[in-house]
Amino acid sequence: MQISAGCRIEYDCPQPTPMLLMVSPHPSRAVDLIGPHEITTDPPVPSRHYHDSFGNFCTRVVAPAGHFTIATRLLIADSGHPDPVVPAAWQRPIQDLPDDLLIYLLGSRYCDTDRLSDFAWATFGQGPTGWHRVQAICDFVHNHITFGYEHARPTREASEALAEGKGVCRDYAHLAVTLCRCVNIPARYCTGYLGDIGVPPAGPMDFAAWFEVYLDDRWHTFDARNNTPRIGRILMARGRDATDVAIVTSFGPCTLTGFAVMTDEVPG
């Protein structure tokens, strides 16, 4: 199958404002692109690209004073299969984990493991390990948090999501990632496109947040918000939490005035 995706983000900037963009598909999906992935701006400005320490494709621009629009469009091939389910995936002892994965056991800006460690061990520490432990965490987070865009708050940490019981997809992912790390399962935050493919339309389209855990010898996809395998994920970026994968990071005051995301299966 083929998926058409893209976004349009608009700002009003009171002065020239440097910006860091993560609006490109992750390099791991580059082989699936059909034609070029385009990033355009209005007015046009120079841009340059680099790969960050997590392997994400990043773009740097300086938005001029006034109205500034960022737009992207891509066409990508997808298997059309839902996320793999691997119940036999087992949990590695910490001493056997590769060195570069230890960072995904540590606390980060929105994943405050120090505040949730006791809760995580008391709630999930005596049950099954591996895949079934992660699924138990997803089940808990999915049922505990009430979804609503009116609940969005950019400063909410995982412990606050647990205490408040409300949020958006990033809060589901932050809480699940934190609980996994607390019980010694490496977990990383993901963001990208996820259209309503194979499921009833769920309202206005937005970027999605999910997470990956390291079990046996590879990373596996989980989604505490939807808590069911989904079709057509287009990964854009991975990191410790939302800080590392922000769609736009602006280095100066500016006002978001428009935001639209499109993700659709191409008929035929």
Q: What is the pTM of this model?
A: 0.96
The secondary element (H helix, E strand) that includes residue 191 is strand 187-194
Q: Which fold has domain 2-80+247-265?
A: Immunoglobulin-like (2.60.40)
- Report the DSSP pairing between strands 38-42 and 48-51: unpaired
Q: Which residue, chain included where needed, has tokens 């994920």? A: 233
Rounded Cα–Cα distance for residues 72 and 5 (Å): 8
The dihedral over CA atoms of 157, 160, 165, 170, expressed in degrees to the nearest 10, equals: 0
Q: According to the model, what pLDDT value does residue 268 have?
A: 77
Strand order in the sheet with 48-51: 48-51, 57-63, 17-21, 248-250
Q: According to the model, what pLDDT value does residue 203 have?
A: 74
Q: According to the model, what pLDDT value does residue 60 have?
A: 98
Q: According to the model, what pLDDT value does residue 247 have?
A: 96
Burial class (CB in 10 A: 0-12, 13-18, 19+), 140: middle
Q: Which fold has domain 94-244?
A: C8orf32 fold (3.10.620)
- Count other Cβ atoms within 10 Å, centred on residue 266: 13
Rounded Cα–Cα distance for residues 44 and 253 (Å): 20
The dihedral over CA atoms of 123, 171, 111, 72, expressed in degrees to the nearest 10, equals: 140
Rounded Cα–Cα distance for residues 250 and 253 (Å): 7
Strand order in the sheet with 187-194: 218-222, 208-215, 187-194, 233-239
DSSP for 124-137, please give it.
HTTS--HHHHHHHH
Tokens read off for 158 = 């995982």
Burial class (CB in 10 A: 0-12, 13-18, 19+), 15: exposed
Note the Cα 45 to chain centre separation in Å: 27
One digit per residue, the tens of pLDDT, for the chain of length 268 reads 999 999 999 999 999 999 999 999 999 999 999 998 989 999 999 999 999 999 999 999 999 999 999 999 999 999 999 999 999 999 999 999 999 999 999 999 999 999 999 999 999 999 899 999 999 999 999 999 999 999 999 999 999 999 999 999 999 999 999 999 999 999 999 999 999 999 988 777 899 999 999 999 999 999 999 999 999 999 999 999 999 999 999 999 999 999 999 999 999 7
Contact 241, 174 (CB under 8 A): yes
Domain range summary for the chain, segments of one domain joined by +: 2-80+247-265, 94-244
Rounded Cα–Cα distance for residues 72 and 259 (Å): 12
CA 171-72-173 angle, 5° bins? 10
* Beta-strand runs (E) in 94-171: 146-147, 166-167
